[in-house]
A and B are shown apart, each in its own frame.
Chain A
């Protein structure tokens, strides 16, 4: 007997099918797994020649530090970078997705991407998910119409600002910016101020820590300074190094230099941007 309903093609987008089942389980007492959040300090500021973005490098899973040195400044286009706070998977996925959309758009138009394009693509996506995609972003870049800096909230609202902070350490970083920002900063002053703001987040906020990453974008040029500052080095390292316990019996030692087995070829040209 044939079904009376028409067969619809599968729709794209997020499938909310399991939400009712998850709700029922939480009501019965099951604790939902916590997300890997980046509990972060991310900042951006506009200086006289362009934009400087900064971020800390700690990723937390509840009270535990899951990654001591993660990368929170994501590549969007050669002239646009985006810092992400919130759920790590969401920031990574959404910036990756918009980055590839921008690339396809560049091939089609033959022009450099504009920051406002990235902004519109991101806010459209986030708004359509009504805040469930938990990504709070600081988007900065320099395009044909000048330097731009925007913040994007998980629900899809945006702000255009001369200096911005997001994440759990945003208040600590914002207090540094509000006290010390002025217009027409030089590149060195700007980097110093961004590093200071991130350090303020690292030392005063528990969700942020480890190192400072900085990205400087100017017209036609970008500099990604990974681990620009490492204010939390390992303090005590044993000078003796690691030794096996005395009772371990060494049966055989055989060392094969890898260069005899494998040929290493230098690839000239554009390596992977990330």
Chain B
């Protein structure tokens, strides 16, 4: 006796046709984002590269965007999903403005909205392949949080995504302290970005640092960091070990 189970298009997990509609792997990806809270608000840094697998395809992608009046969103992972999220947030902010009631969505609210979106997509086995960093200031209180593609969300004084988890987080845990000045905060972020530049293969030497305070959002122009390659030992590394490398 054979059992036949009727295929119904709602069963997205098993149906082959619906399969092509789910996100299975990312294609164009951005690497890490590093962000910290400082005295006046939040600082966020990212590089401007978009990799297509192992090729560095795009070198001018802005992975940090302002959301409404009070928040900054940085994303690592699939760039097209990031653009989709920006459209969702655009609609959200627009609808909020249409109420015209003097209230505006703060970073906490936006973070909550993003958490719900990411988690619900994950439940349908069709995730938005991003790790998002949400920072902002409202009524003098700074806020910094993170949501991953499976819906894990939390807030902290300093966050890092992607390779930054392994390379930047130890530095931040050691050297972050409350009430950093703007210069110290930028120096700390640049320290992390430099290590990422040396050790992450998908990082490029073209960065943007974004700042958000009570006054508003400033995203810097792209710039590059100085790197040091002049260690004596690198000039002739195998002088003492002929034949190896």
**Interface residues, chain A, with chain B CB atoms under 8 Å away:** 46, 115-116, 119, 123, 145-146, 148, 150, 158-162, 171-172, 174-176, 178-179, 183, 200, 203-204
Chain A residues with CB under 8 Å of B241's CB are 115-116, 119, 148, 150, 158, 160
* Complex contact B167–A183 (CB within 8 A): no
Closest Cβ of chain A to B188, distance in Å, is: 10
Closest Cβ of chain A to B53, distance in Å, is: 22
* Complex contact B170–A172 (CB within 8 A): yes
Chain A residues with CB under 8 Å of B191's CB are 179
Quick one: which of A116, A175, A204 contacts B240, CB cutoff 8 A?
Answer: A116
* Complex contact A172–B245 (CB within 8 A): no
A20, B205: Cα distance in complex, Å: 49
* Complex contact B199–A171 (CB within 8 A): yes
B238 at the interface (CB under 8 A from A): yes
* Complex contact A148–B240 (CB within 8 A): yes
A162, B240: Cα distance in complex, Å: 12
* With known contacts A178-B198, A179-B191, A183-B232, A171–B167 Cβ distance under 8 A: yes
- In the complex, 21 of the A-B residue pairs with CB atoms within 8 angstroms, ordered by the A residue number, are A116-B240, A148-B240, A148-B241, A158-B244, A159-B245, A160-B237, A160-B240, A161-B237, A162-B231, A162-B232, A171-B167, A172-B166, A175-B166, A176-B170, A176-B171, A178-B198, A179-B194, A179-B195, A183-B231, A200-B170, A204-B169
* Complex contact B245–A175 (CB within 8 A): no
* Complex contact A179–B171 (CB within 8 A): yes
* With known contacts A174-B199, A178-B194, A150–B166 Cβ distance under 8 A: no
Closest Cβ of chain A to B45, distance in Å, is: 15
CB < 8 Å A-B pair total: 71
* Complex contact B199–A178 (CB within 8 A): yes
* Complex contact A204–B173 (CB within 8 A): yes
The number of chain B residues with a CB under 8 A from chain A is 25
* Complex contact A46–B233 (CB within 8 A): yes
Chain B residues with CB under 8 Å of A148's CB are 240-241
Chain B residues with CB under 8 Å of A146's CB are 240
Is chain A's binding surface mostly helix, strand, loop or mixed? helix
Residues 174-214 of B, flagged 1 when their CB comes within 8 A of A and 0 if not, give: 10000000000000000100110011000000000000000
Quick one: which of B163, B167, B238 contacts A160, CB cutoff 8 A?
Answer: B238
Closest Cβ of chain B to A215, distance in Å, is: 19
* With known contacts A175-B199, A176-B171, A183-B232, A160–B244 Cβ distance under 8 A: yes
* Complex contact B170–A204 (CB within 8 A): yes
B3 at the interface (CB under 8 A from A): no
* Complex contact A162–B194 (CB within 8 A): no
* Complex contact A145–B170 (CB within 8 A): no
Chain A residues with CB under 8 Å of B199's CB are 171, 174-175, 178
B168 at the interface (CB under 8 A from A): yes
Q: Which of B205-245 contact A (CB under 8 A)?
A: 231-234, 237-238, 240-242, 244-245
Chain A residues with CB under 8 Å of B237's CB are 160-161
Chain A residues with CB under 8 Å of B232's CB are 162, 183
**A168 and chain B: residue at smallest CB distance:** B166
* Complex contact A145–B233 (CB within 8 A): no
**B196 and chain A: residue at smallest CB distance:** A175
Chain B residues with CB under 8 Å of A174's CB are 167, 195, 199
**B173 and chain A: residue at smallest CB distance:** A204
Closest Cβ of chain B to A259, distance in Å, is: 50
**A172 and chain B: residue at smallest CB distance:** B170
**B171 and chain A: residue at smallest CB distance:** A175
A145, B245: Cα distance in complex, Å: 17
A204, B234: Cα distance in complex, Å: 29
Residues 20-41 of B, flagged 1 when their CB comes within 8 A of A and 0 if not, give: 0000000000000000000000
Interface contacts beyond A160-B240, A160-B241: sample of 20 additional A-B pairs, CB < 8 Å, sorted by A? A115-B240, A115-B241, A119-B241, A123-B244, A160-B233, A160-B237, A160-B245, A161-B233, A161-B237, A175-B170, A175-B171, A175-B199, A176-B171, A178-B198, A178-B199, A183-B232, A200-B174, A204-B166, A204-B169, A204-B173
A125, B28: Cα distance in complex, Å: 41
Chain B residues with CB under 8 Å of A46's CB are 233
A183, B233: Cα distance in complex, Å: 9
A146, B233: Cα distance in complex, Å: 12
Closest 8 pairs between A and B when the two form their complex, measured CB to CB: A162-B233, A171-B166, A175-B167, A200-B170, A172-B170, A204-B170, A178-B195, A116-B241
Closest Cβ of chain B to A223, distance in Å, is: 22
Chain B residues with CB under 8 Å of A183's CB are 231-233
Closest Cβ of chain A to B141, distance in Å, is: 29
**B174 and chain A: residue at smallest CB distance:** A200
Chain A residues with CB under 8 Å of B238's CB are 160
Closest Cβ of chain B to A39, distance in Å, is: 14
